[in-house]
Chains A and B, each alone.
Chain A
């Protein structure tokens, strides 16, 4: 039994092995429009359904200082008025066509999608292209929507001590990079976001040469290309678009520790995050080793932390590790221990450290590694059952600095990682000076 859902430890959903792995087995075609927009088509003819997604290579990481949350605010505003559609009409037309749709904002990207019957694809592409260029907001559009995003922050963050704790930990981990600022924004800056902030972000980043179109489902690639030329292809590129070059981290020379108290904490836990390398184009080996390391340490019943802390010593009711390598800049590797009744956070942390140290000395269990690789291979088969998940995996990778050839190479790179390389990756990432250790507690009593 997994404790994850009981504790709503939402960050654990980032674990990649159990998620979708885009690989080589699916039918993928790609094109580049003259205006610089990338087009990726994933064929799945099992059902007459299509997923249509537009991804912008702009997330909260592209925000200027002082306007945190504006990328996400703009995402909401894209459902308002354009020069051809009334406010709310976009969603209404999608629904009237039996479709569903939504949008999401992350550190590295903002994405918009609809799921519709395959014959409705041209309409979706016309409307999505329209709001790439024709947004027509007035001051009245933004005021209520700003209230909505503040309620969203209330719901996702202010009402959840674990989420408040995560914000503080991220801010402590990243000394300079925008990954230290919450995607939804700091509340005091969200309250001041205005129309011009949103429009400035829109004008700079919403352009075909900064976007990736992913269409997945019952479609023919040449038809999609023609539709894309007729819609997105008509939009001029933004010549002022620059290379994505964010402020990077300075050397981390001091381990950081924090305690977070909240009356609403039902279950204390200790969590440590380390700054870790991400997948880079043409250089994914370290990230592949870390992906496997997270699974070996904390990816389920047979993992090292689970076996030691839950089964052998019963120090923990839950122990895990998490890593998401698909990111534009330096990402994080995390360890978490939820102590058993009567075990202090200090004891839990010490046991976690001891277990990791022993693992590095003992090396990787080759049989466990073989099982993981088998699961990884199978996950590509299972992934083909979920075309939206596949489309999503391509979109994330292509807006996180990777190219199609990196996505295609990834499965073989993972299969080629050796136990020694995993240990080397562990030694490189587990450097105390590059880490934040946090204790989430109801009160002082939880520490002891």
Chain B
């Protein structure tokens, strides 16, 4: 039987390295799963995502999905929170449940020696959470504590201000943990509803890496997820309308170092110029000590410990943003440098030397990401959610190398918009 199955669900197999390739499987019940088989270490890393996440919470129930995900390990079926934790400890399995704006995620690691028991335990938490009232109250108090701490954290304050203006009433405009009011009002029924709407098979993405055969994985995934609803009646959000103004807004907060968050509209992940934009961002404000902003703001002037910019290309909105912190009396100077660099790259683009150097870095760094079961599983599930094909791992560097100086500078001219740069500063900066 096993042999027949393997022919049925083995569609594609793309070489990743000599040692491993990505297998794309379809389980008997129709779930798509990507696998990299690697029997070196006796465990499996499994990644599970459901598209939707906190952004499908109704506005008056904001935070329901976040609280629901935090409660999956706090009692299910016949197990209390403590029973569940003890069972997990006995198996030395690790499960983590997270909620994000665009998805909820479950990351699991379990040993080969007790794989079936671990999966049965994980299944119980996903399928039959109890949302017992004492657990709900206990975890609700933790979420409220987090929200309270976040009110006096300058990085959180600046992020909230930016999101509120950028996205307004779109779900991206709110905190995915909800507000004090909405979280306090959530009922057990709200949590059961959030569970029913969030974890549905037609929004599921699964990857696994490690010590397991495709046959066993296929059966495992079906066993894990059988019984979840097929569809959700809560629709995914619409695209957000960006409502960012321009210029600086200061939010007064008594702290010695101001935090700045800045940006404007960005570029979609599937835009034909995305790779050019990706290279541009790397040159302008990417990681390491090599970017223009790091050189000008940190290395040459000592105005910050770290500055970075990011293309945040999400399901329903795209922005290019950046962040740094400077002492209150130096923030003004740092912002002047930032604005002048923003204008400079838009007007003059980048040099051939910068482009070549960055291509070498990005193409050399890409394979280094695939260096363990857990990181590979994470990359694979991310690719699935973006609608990429397994072969992407072999063509991605070609796409980076194909970007020309002409193309990248044409993109720089429209991507960076100095007159639209919106800057929020939290602190008491001298400007």
Interface residue ranges, A against B (CB under 8 Å)? 1, 3, 6-8, 46-49, 79, 88, 91-92, 95-100, 115-117, 143-152, 154-155, 158-159, 263-267, 300-302, 307, 310-311, 314, 317-318, 338, 340-341, 367-368, 371-372, 374-375, 377-379, 381-382, 384-387
Contacts and interface: CB of A to CB of B under 8 A. Distances in A.
Instruction: Sort chain B's interface into a size bin.
Output: 35 or more
A377 B111 CA distance: 11
B304 to A, nearest CB: 5
Contacts, number: 201
B360 A49 contact: no
Given A91-B288, A155-B325, A302 B360 contact: no
Interface string B253-280: 0111101000000000000000000000
Contacts of B148: 266-267
Contact of A151 (B85, B86, B303, B357): B303
A145 B289 CA distance: 13
A311 B326 CA distance: 42
A421 to B, nearest CB: 21
Given A95-B361, A378-B92, A385 B43 contact: yes
Given A3-B142, A96-B357, A148-B302, A267 B149 contact: yes
Interface stretch (B57-65, B189-197, B367-375): B367-375
Nearest to B287: A100
A91 B288 CA distance: 8
A79 to B, nearest CB: 7
Contact of A378 (B84, B111, B138, B367): B111
15 contacts: A47-B17, A47-B19, A48-B367, A79-B289, A91-B288, A97-B360, A100-B368, A117-B364, A158-B256, A159-B257, A266-B152, A266-B153, A302-B82, A375-B92, A385-B45
A385 B111 CA distance: 12
B146 interface: yes
Contact of B360 (A98, A307, A381, A387): A98
A96 B82 contact: no
A116 B40 CA distance: 22
B41 A385 contact: yes
Q: Of residues B19, B138, B154, B372, which shows the largest number of chain A Cβ atoms within 10 Å of its Cβ?
A: B372
Interface in B277-301: 287-290, 295, 298-301
Interface in B82-100: 82, 84-86, 89-92, 94
Contacts of A47: 17, 19, 367-368, 370-372
B141 A98 contact: no
B325 A159 contact: yes
A266 B302 CA distance: 31
A6 B146 contact: yes
Interface centre among A1, A266, A310, A386 (most CB of B within 10 A): A1
A372 B146 CA distance: 28
B19 A117 contact: no
Given A151-B257, A317-B141, 20 more contacts: A1-B71, A1-B142, A6-B143, A7-B146, A91-B289, A97-B360, A97-B364, A99-B368, A143-B302, A152-B305, A154-B256, A264-B254, A266-B150, A300-B85, A301-B85, A307-B82, A341-B141, A374-B91, A379-B92, A382-B109
Given A144-B300, A151-B304, A311-B138, A265 B146 contact: no
A3 B289 contact: no
B39 to A, nearest CB: 10
A386 B325 contact: no
Contact of A340 (B20, B141, B254, B298): B141
Contacts of B41: 381, 384-385
B185 interface: no
Interface string B117-147: 0000000000000000000001101111110
Nearest to B358: A95
B146 A3 contact: yes
B365 interface: yes
Nearest to A266: B149
A96 B290 CA distance: 10
B288 A159 contact: no
Contacts of A99: 364-365, 368
A144 B90 CA distance: 53
B302 A159 contact: no
A410 B91 CA distance: 22
B149 A6 contact: yes
10 tightest A-B contacts by CB? A98-B364, A147-B302, A6-B146, A378-B92, A301-B85, A266-B149, A144-B302, A154-B257, A1-B70, A152-B305
A1 B74 contact: yes
B85 A302 contact: yes
A84 B242 CA distance: 50
A98 B373 CA distance: 21
B302 A146 contact: yes
A95 B357 contact: yes
B89 A372 contact: yes
Contacts of A368: 86
Contacts of A317: 138, 141-142, 145
Contacts of B90: 371, 374
A100 B138 contact: no
Contacts of B142: 1, 3, 6, 317-318
Contacts of B84: 301
A292 to B, nearest CB: 13
B98 to A, nearest CB: 10
B254 A263 contact: yes
B363 interface: yes
Nearest to A102: B288
B371 A147 contact: no
A437 B131 CA distance: 36
Contacts of B152: 263-266
B338 interface: no
B315 interface: no
Given A145-B302, A314-B138, A385-B45, A300 B38 contact: no
B372 A385 contact: yes
Contacts of B74: 1
Contacts of A145: 302
Interface string B303-323: 111100000000000000000
Contacts of A387: 371-372
B111 A381 contact: yes
A152 B298 CA distance: 11
Nearest to B209: A385
B42 interface: yes
